[in-house]
Amino acid sequence: MEPRSYGQYCPAARALDLVGERWTLLLVRELLTGPKRFGDLQAALRGLGTGLLSARLKHLGRAGIVERTVLPPRVPAYALTGAGRELEPVVLALADWGLRRAMDGRRAGETARAAWAALALRACFDPDAAAGDRAVYEFRTGDEIVHARVQGGAVTVADGPAADPDATLTTSAGVLADLAAGGLTLRRALSTGRVTASGDEAALELLARLFGPPRR
């Protein structure tokens, strides 16, 4: 299934020819936190059929956005190329806009994942407040673990546990999403037991300061 073209000699239209089809940018979002197996992508993108997922991955491969790789022990997987990672600010800007304009509470039937919430936190990260700070955070939601690393006024998010986290937060993916959306403060979540935390108190205070609620 070949994606349709807008047929316009315009850079925005040409970009949307490549990544504007349904599910395509969400595939990029999944790969921003690290390589994924085909089954991982299927599990994360409920509603995306096997055939359409294969077609989207082939299209992104031909476009030089996604490439095949392997995960230990030699398990086939997919990863973003350099060109694919250049879409990161696009996805984060879209998430930031969504946090400010489209998040009106969780709707019936909507799923939530820690990696999505962590990327949303990254979208509302305040780099000016992070000057000179360094911290590593691990977020645990059931079987899913992601971590965020703050260093040099920037933040990166990746799948899996951190080697030596300064603070670890355990909660549900939905609560983590509420924190990112600004519907719940970290202090409130901790005081009501919706989040449990361990580690350095100063790192937790920094977390609340660096990842403030989105600007409305």
**Burial class (CB within 10 angstroms; exposed 0-12, middle 13-18, buried 19+) of 89:** exposed
Q: Do 118 and 206 share a structural domain?
A: yes
Chosen domain end from 51, 85, 119? 85
Chosen domain end from 54, 85, 116? 85
Instruction: Tell me whether residue 47 is in a domain.
Output: yes
Instruction: Tell me whether residue 76 is in a domain.
Output: yes
pLDDT tens per residue, range 70-125: 999 999 999 999 999 999 999 999 999 999 898 888 899 999 999 999 999 889 88
Q: What is the pLDDT of residue 203?
A: 94
Secondary structure (DSSP) of the chain: -PPP-----SHHHHHHHHH-STTHHHHHHHHHTS-B-HHHHHHHSTT--HHHHHHHHHHHHHTTSEEEEEETTTEEEEEE-HHHHTTHHHHHHHHHHHHHHT--SPPTT----HHHHHHHHHHT--GGGGTT--EEEEEEETTEEEEEEEETTEEEEEES--SS-SEEEE--HHHHHHHHHTSS-HHHHHHTTSSEEEE-HHHHHHHHHHSPPPP-
Q: Do 117 and 29 share a structural domain?
A: no
Q: Do 121 and 203 share a structural domain?
A: yes
Instruction: Tell me whether residue 171 is in a domain.
Output: yes
Instruction: Tell me whether residue 216 is in a domain.
Output: no
pLDDT tens per residue, range 183-208: 899 999 999 999 999 999 999 999 98
User: Does position 166 have pLDDT exceeding 90, yes or no?
Assistant: yes
Q: Euclidean distance between the first and final Cα of the chain, in Å?
A: 39
Q: Do 136 and 76 share a structural domain?
A: no
- Structurally, how many domains does the chain consist of? 2
Instruction: Tell me whether residue 79 is in a domain.
Output: yes
Task: Give the residue numbers spanning the domain of 15.
Answer: 11-85
- CATH number, residue 23: 1.10.10.10
pTM of the model: 0.91
